Chain A
Amino acid sequence: MNAASPATRYDVLVLGAGVGGMESALTLGDMGYQVLVVEKEPSVGGRMILLSKVFPTLDCASCISTPKMAAVNNHPHVRALVSSEVNDITPRPEGGFLVHLTRKPTFVDAAKCTGCALCESACTVAVPDEFNYDLTARRAAHIAFPQAVPKKAVITRRGSSPCSFTCPAGVKPHGYVSLVRSGQYDEAFRQHLDDAPLVGVLSRACYAPCEEACSRKELEGPVSIRGIKRFMSDRYYAAHPVPEYGPPSERKGARVAIVGSGPSGLAAAFVLGRAGYDVTVFEAEQEAGGILRWGIPSYRLPKDVVARDLANITALGVKIETGHRVTSLAELQGAGFGAVYLATGDRGGRKLSVPGEDLAGVYDAVDYLHELNADRPPDFSGKTVIVIGGGNVAIDSARSARRLGARSVELFCLESRAEMPAHPWEIQEAEEEGVVVTNSWGVGQVLGYDRKVLGVELVRCTSVFDAEHRFRPTFDSSVRQSVHGEVVITAIGLAPNTGAFASQVELQRNGTVKVDPETLATSVPGVFAGGDAVTGPAMIVTAIGQGKRAAFYIERFLRGEPLEGAKFDDRLPEVDASTVAAEARRDAVPRPPVPIPRRPALERVTSFEPYEAVLSETEARTSANRCLDCGVCSECRECVRACPANAIDLDMRARTETVVVQSVALATGFTPFDARQKPAFGFGRFANVINGPQMDRILAPTRPFNAVVRPSDGKAPSNVAFVLCTGSRDEQVGNRLCSRVCCMYSMKQAQLLLGSLPLADVTIYYIDLRAFGKGYEEFLQQTKGMGVIFRKGKVSRVEETDDHDLLVHYEDIEGGGGSTVARHDLVVLSTGLLPNPGALALFPKGGLEKDAYSYVREVNEELEPGKTTLEGVFVIGSATAVRDIPDTIVHSEAASAQIAAYLKREGAKA
């Protein structure tokens, strides 16, 4: 049945591939019926495959299960879908059922995966291993368990981590943070470079929206993502003064012109250069970098860092022609460039449009910062400087003025403090450096005498934005003040540098280039535009993101592929930060952020030297270890690099399928009782209080530990207690039913324990013993004969000693009565089984009935086993009542006979 085009009609849908589901599928398949098995886990086998041995024969659970698992996976009449879930099942008027199911993405191409597990070893994210009931760690990339069928890796992804989802440049901070945490610093740098260039620039000058989104922000403060990037970037560049690579050997043979060498143009050049295109970047200035080179002061972004980042781009063979101002798109196209990317950024500052703006001593912030970065700083020594504006450029201007020796620097802006576009931390740093920030004032005029500035007249600004949050400032002209100053720097906004192309491509009213927002295509075929020339002033990461987007569609254009229909951005949905933070808050020890050392304010205003220090290796790893792994998989892509079969596919997405089935068999199993509901027993609080399923894992050949040892310290236990009926026959937890298995599996575990640790004492605390099946009573007597102590007594609570031993308080029913205490070094809570209500929700409301205990109700379990209240729907094994393995198999066979009879009847009707 595993054909290339799977069928859409089946005789039976078996929901769940535990022992009951497998048995039924094989029986019906052997009868010639077409069976579809849907299992939510990545392997068939259910819970039985995780057991050590089975009672009362002590046969190896794996030895019994694995042939069935392989048979289900390979049966000619059975199609087994793992990592899949049924969404709903609807009865059809004409008979049968319509089934919608989801094939969950495993992010590994099962056809290619060989099960070598190299991805596991390479993975940088550790999470609890659910197949070992959380006793140990697994990796985000993992094979479910050693006997998994199919034995294929899967990658756990909860969604996009908020940091990675937020970054407009498509950088995956979670990835490089997890690599730094693992001590893989060069890999961290390369992973970032894989996502986006200008790593050094971003490590210094990015406003780090990722940190704003970080889930840890809701706890003690965000992870210092930019600080971590600075650490890995500085370390990498110190070790690699020149790029490690050259131009790609495979050339595409097409030429691309990029106008402007700011972050957007450089990002596009990097992506296209790496893909093998011949890229030429045209830059009007004498040096490349745009705003990175000419706009940002060197105390925030040293120019050697920009230069080293640029080398990563030119190493790909990208040519940068400086001093070349492009004014004609037609000329570029005529010169043989197959595509053009306009990334011309901003041309200069917007005007105040008030009297006196042309006086000597009035500076446009963009021109002023340009001159500063060209090593031609104006002389502000001893002068009183007034800065107008509340954004990042205004702050940069003011702080630079302080470094130029200004006697005082006062910044006025329209906005209130909370409305200022500048980031709170940079405003705070400016104030630390002596900049005086005064809010809610606009400029009425620049005052002067003899063509020189004397100050400004300010008008009280009463509001900045209208009800729709559009920029519509209002003033109270009756409230004015004059402020003395010898220099006025205006930083009230930037205008797009698009004037030269106004008659060549369509522009918006504000002067930005009009583009398709998805493809960034302009009105001229083959010409794309992005960055500030399209968005207006934006963050560096936004510009980089635009450059990458443009490159994606330019490639499609050059390949002659339609631009429509392709998806540049296909991130998984963002993981909810509050949910992650709430989970992390439980039993966590606070981990405050590692502060990034900064030079004192008075010292840093004496020069343009960077004032922020780099984290040490220990600080960087400690910082990285604060990451909460929100999306689970970090997208570090170490698995991609490690996989010899090229099977990892992080772009895999969920797929839906619709099938028609004649009948449904619910084999959805049980829910294990959560022993945390009995807090007096200490499960989850004391390391050496474990539950029955965990004990089975410890005893299994594929155990999580190297031997039978206790979880607190690896000691081989010498005195083990079992507490029967934990969560069963217990009104306190709302479960009146006997588990029907915990007596027997505890005896099984006791026998296996004594096989491993012959000198150990084993005590079973019980209310009464139920050995009802074939060979069970003999098994009980055999257990007693091996020296296991049976203590009739209800356990009331468990306490822990300083050396992790446990004091079991119990009512000694047969030994004289009264409350007694016994000391053990390991306590196993023999937990029972609860209903799994999931199956009921798949059907239309009221379609399937449950019994008084919330199990799927059989209409007549004595005469028609497995038949439910819905015609054509059957239930198997522990989905309808608590059952052990032999009973489940017997019930499964009985239900299969009912299903076969039903199909025969329905077939005869048709």
Chain B
Amino acid sequence: MTGKANLRNLREVLRDEMVERDRVAELLRGGAKTLPEIASALGAPEEEVTKWVMAMRRYGRIHDLPKARADDYYRYELTGGPK
């Protein structure tokens, strides 16, 4: 259990997507990954990576793969959509 600090400034986190999306895309060129896997590879907080990946999904850069009911996490892959 921890007494966590506040989440980082939301606007700042969302702005970072414009830079970090290239790193995410580069990573996913190696195959589909879950959010924790992406966060671990980038060395970035999971909640921030979630924001970036969901925005990338919204704007057609990546999409999710079907997951088995027992799986905790979805995997995401590049769509080949807008760069």
Contacts and interface: CB of A to CB of B under 8 A. Distances in A.
Contacts of B6: 587, 684-685
Contacts of B3: 799
Interface in A553-588: 583-584, 586-588
Interface residues of A, number: 53
Contacts of A589: 8-9, 12
Interface stretch (A191-199, A800-808, A810-818): A800-808
A181 B14 contact: no
B72 A715 contact: yes
Nearest to B71: A716
B1 A707 contact: no
B55 A126 contact: yes
Contact of B18 (A136, A182, A584, A714): A182
Contacts of B12: 584, 588-589
Given A587-B6, A685-B7, A799-B1, A714 B14 contact: no
Contacts of B59: 120-121, 139
B15 A713 contact: no
Query: Which of B16, B35, B50, B67 has most A Cβ within 10 Å?
Result: B50
Interface string B1-42: 111111111111011111100100000000000111001000
A647 to B, nearest CB: 19
Contacts of A684: 6-7
Nearest to B53: A714
Given A137-B51, A584-B12, A589-B12, A713 B18 contact: no
B55 A137 contact: yes
A564 to B, nearest CB: 43
B4 A685 contact: yes
A709 B67 CA distance: 12
Interface residues of B, number: 43
Given A121-B60, A711-B50, A128 B11 contact: yes
A659 to B, nearest CB: 37
Given A137-B55, A684-B7, A685-B6, A713 B47 contact: yes
Given A126-B55, A714-B73, A715-B72, A587 B82 contact: no
A714 B35 contact: yes
B46 to A, nearest CB: 4
Contacts of B4: 685-686, 800
A586 B19 CA distance: 21
Contacts of A802: 1-2
Contact of A625 (B7, B19, B39, B60): B19
Interface string A586-598: 1111000000000
B6 to A, nearest CB: 5
Nearest to A759: B69
Interface string A613-628: 0000000011011011
B54 A705 contact: yes
Contacts of A807: 1
B26 to A, nearest CB: 12
A183 B18 CA distance: 8
B18 A126 contact: yes
A426 B83 CA distance: 41
A178 B39 contact: no
A170 B63 CA distance: 40
Interface string B39-83: 100000011001101110111100110010101111000000010
A704 interface: yes
A706 interface: yes
Nearest to B50: A714
Contacts of A135: 54
A415 interface: no
A584 B14 CA distance: 12
Contact of A181 (B1, B18, B63, B82): B18
Contact of A707 (B8, B11, B51, B64): B64
B62 to A, nearest CB: 10
A714 B76 CA distance: 11
Interface string A776-801: 00000000000000000000000111
Interface in A834-854: none
A714 B36 CA distance: 8
B39 A713 contact: yes
Nearest to A583: B11
B54 to A, nearest CB: 5
A622 B16 CA distance: 10
B7 A587 contact: yes
A819 to B, nearest CB: 15
A124 B18 contact: yes
B74 A706 contact: yes
A138 B57 CA distance: 11
B34 A621 contact: no
B15 A804 contact: no
A800 B42 CA distance: 23
A134 interface: yes
B50 to A, nearest CB: 5
Interface string A115-150: 000001100111110000011111100000000000
Contacts of A705: 54, 57
Given A625-B15, A801-B1, A807-B1, A586 B9 contact: yes
Contacts of B18: 124-126, 178, 181-182, 625
Nearest first, the 9 closest Cβ-Cβ pairs linking A and B are A714-B35, A687-B47, A137-B55, A713-B46, A706-B64, A137-B14, A588-B9, A587-B9, A126-B14
Interface of B: 1-12, 14-19, 22, 34-36, 39, 46-47, 50-51, 53-55, 57-60, 63-64, 67, 69, 71-74, 82
Given A134-B10, A714-B36, A716-B74, 7 more contacts: A120-B59, A584-B9, A685-B6, A712-B50, A714-B50, A715-B72, A807-B1
